[in-house]
C-alpha cells in the first residue's frame, strides 16, 4: 500500500450510494478519511449519501464501473491530490441488487462481476491500493439440511451455473477467482468478505426485501407477506455491524484475506415478521406467498475468522428492527412515491 503523503487516507468505494455502501461511506468520512464514492445509481440513490455531499472530504462521481475509469481526469477530485497521494484503499461493492427487479439487471450484474471487477482491479494495480471485494454467502450454494453452517475453506457448489440467477451466484464465485488471481499474479493486497443477509435503514422498499417490506406493510395495516415456504430460515446482520466487519477486514494482517461477515443466529422469518408487527403495534396477519427467484434461504456463516479480527455482531435484532422501522416510517411517503 502506498505510503501516506498527507494526514488523510484516500479511499475509493464503488457502489457507495447503495444500501451498505452509503453506510460505509458515512463511517469512513466520519473517521477522518477522504472518500470517493462511485455509483451509477442503477439500484443506489443519491438520497443515501445526501448528508455527505457538502463535506469537502467526500466526492460523489456518477460512473459505471463497467466503463473505463480515469480518476485523474476529474477536476472535482483536485482536493484529493491523486497524482501525489494516490489511493490507499478500495472497497468494491458495485453490483446491482434487486429482488423483484432481478431480471431487469441481469446483463449489468454479469458485467459487474467480470468487466467491472477488471476496471477496479486495474485501478488497484495502478495505485497499489489495498483492495476489499464484497462477495456473498451465495458462493456456498444452497443451505444443507444436515449442517447449515459454512466455513471459509469449504467449497461451495452453485447447483446450476446456467440457471436464471447464475449471473449473480456464479458471478460472485468468478469474481472471487479474479481477485485471488490478481493477488497471486500482481501481489495486490486483496481481501474478500463473504457478506451474508444484511438489513437496516436505506434498504429499498417494495422490492421484496424482508425487513423494510415487513415494516411498510405493518405500518400500513396490511398483511405481512413472507415470500417462500414455511418455515423460511435465514440469519440477519444489522448494517452497522456489517460495515464494522468490512473495515476490520481491510485493516487486518495480510493472511486474513477471506472472511465470512454475517450473523450465525438462525431465525424463522415468520417470527421476525411477528416481531415487526409487535414493535409497530399492528394486528395484521402473516401470510406466505410463492418464493421469489432471488430470495432464498442461505447457509449460516461460521464467524471464527471474523472473531479473530475482534469482530462480533453487536446490534440486537430487536434494536435493529426498531431502527429500520423508524427509517421506513420517516421515509415511506417519499420512498414509495419514488
Using alpha carbons only, give the angle 259, 265, 270 rounded to the nearest 5 degrees: 130
Hey, how many other C-beta atoms are within 10 angstroms of the C-beta on 67?
12
- Residues 282 and 189: their CA atoms lie apart, in Å, by 50
| 109 CB-side CA count, 13 A | 23
Q: For every residue of 176-234, which 3-state class applies, written as one string?
A: HHHHHHHHHHHCCCEEEEEECCEECCCCCCCCCCHHHHHHHHHHCCCCEEEECCCCCEE
Q: Which residues are catalytic?
A: 168
- Residues 17 and 27: their CA atoms lie apart, in Å, by 13
CB 165 within 8 A of CB 173: no
Report residue 34 as a C-alpha cell. 477522504
Amino acid at each position: 500500500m502506498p505510503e501516506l503523503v498527507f494526514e488523510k487516507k484516500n479511499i475509493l468505494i464503488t457502489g457507495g450510494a447503495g444500501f451498505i455502501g452509503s453506510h460505509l461511506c458515512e463511517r469512513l468520512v466520519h473517521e477522518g478519511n477522504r472518500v470517493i464514492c462511485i455509483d451509477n445509481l442503477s439500484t443506489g440513490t443519491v438520497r443515501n449519501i445526501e448528508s455527505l455531499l457538502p463535506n469537502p472530504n467526500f466526492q460523489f462521481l456518477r460512473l459505471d464501473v463497467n466503463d473505463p475509469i480515469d480518476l485523474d481526469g476529474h477536476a472535482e477530485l483536485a482536493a484529493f491530490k491523486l497524482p501525489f497521494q494516490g489511493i490507499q484503499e478500495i472497497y468494491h461493492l458495485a453490483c446491482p441488487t434487486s429482488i423483484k427487479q432481478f431480471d431487469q439487471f441481469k446483463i449489468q450484474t454479469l458485467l459487474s462481476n467480470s468487466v467491472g471487477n477488471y476496471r477496479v482491479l486495474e485501478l488497484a494495480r495502478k495505485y497499489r491500493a489495498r483492495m476489499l471485494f464484497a462477495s456473498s454467502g451465495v458462493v456456498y450454494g444452497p443451505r444443507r439440511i444436515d449442517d447449515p453452517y459454512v466455513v471459509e475453506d469449504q467449497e461451495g457448489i452453485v447447483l446450476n451455473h446456467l440457471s436464471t440467477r447464475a449471473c449473480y451466484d456464479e458471478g460472485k464465485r468468478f469474481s472471487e477467482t479474479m481477485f485471488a488471481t490478481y493477488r497471486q499474479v500482481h501481489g495486490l493486497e486483496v481481501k474478500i468478505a463473504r457478506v451474508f443477509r444484511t438489513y437496516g435503514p436505506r434498504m429499498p422498499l417494495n422490492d421484496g426485501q424482508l425487513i423494510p417490506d415487513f415494516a411498510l406493510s405493518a405500518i400500513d395495516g396490511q398483511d405481512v407477506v413472507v415470500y417462500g415456504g414455511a418455515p423460511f430460515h435465514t440469519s440477519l446482520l444489522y448494517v452497522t455491524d456489517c460495515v464494522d466487519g468490512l473495515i476490520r477486514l481491510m485493516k487486518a494482517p495480510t493472511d486474513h484475506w477471506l472472511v465470512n461477515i454475517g450473523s450465525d443466529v438462525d431465525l424463522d422469518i415468520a417470527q421476525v415478521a411477528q416481531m415487526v408487527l409487535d414493535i409497530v403495534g399492528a394486528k395484521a396477519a402473516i401470510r406466505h406467498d410463492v418464493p421469489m427467484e432471488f430470495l432464498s434461504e442461505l447457509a449460516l456463516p461460521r464467524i471464527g475468522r471474523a472473531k479473530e479480527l475482534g469482530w462480533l455482531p453487536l446490534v440486537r435484532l430487536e434494536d435493529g428492527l426498531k431502527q429500520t422501522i423508524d427509517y421506513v416510517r420517516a421515509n415511506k411517503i417519499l420512498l414509495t412515491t419514488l
